[in-house]
Amino acid sequence: MTVTTTALVATNSVIKVDNAAGTPTDVSGSSNKVQIGPKNGVGEFRAFSTQWKTRVVIGKDTDIKIDFVLSSAADEAYDLFKKWFWGGDDSARTVTIDVPDSTAGSDRYSGEAVLENLDMPLDAQADQPIFGSAVMKPSGEWTQADISA
């Protein structure tokens, strides 16, 4: 068995989310985990004369979850998501995630998304910084493309 020598690491991934003014804001420095969960919507049916179901892909969706460190600094992940949730403007914003970085040949996942929920667990007994998470859902097409030079 040959072990791959081309494994990707997420250390230099770039995560950008539009702020309220529509400006892409790099939240990579205050984020520590991103999960993209693409899934197909599958419809099924069975016709007369067969016992087996037929399935077809009828749509696509994904969850986009960003975990972050709560910080008191402006324009970091916590500040951006907090203002998005409580700021009164719930419209979709552009989210872009570059893996493993933003150089040519990397993958870019992007699209418009709405903020579904913001989780900020507070634990007085935790001997660590506070970590939060934001879950977004696409509003329209979520795309994957190769970054070109």
CA distances from 2 to 5, 6, 23 (A): 9, 12, 45
Q: What is the pLDDT of residue 5?
A: 85
State the burial class of residue 149 (Cβ atoms within 10 Å of its Cβ: 0-12, 13-18, 19+): exposed
- For position 1, what pLDDT does the model report? 87
How is residue 31 written in tokens? 């984020």
**pLDDT tens sequence for the chain (149 residues):** 899 888 889 999 999 999 999 999 999 999 999 999 999 999 999 999 999 999 999 999 999 999 999 999 988 999 999 999 999 899 999 999 999 999 999 999 999 999 999 999 999 998 999 999 999 999 999 999 999 96
Distance CA 125, CA 122 (A): 9
Amino acid of residue 132:
G
Alpha helices in 1-149 (DSSP H): 77-86
pLDDT at 4: 87
Q: Does domain 14-146 have CATH number 2.60.40?
A: no
List, in order, residues 6 or more apart from 78 with CB less than 8 Å away: 30, 68, 69, 70, 71, 132
Q: Give residue 45's pLDDT.
A: 95
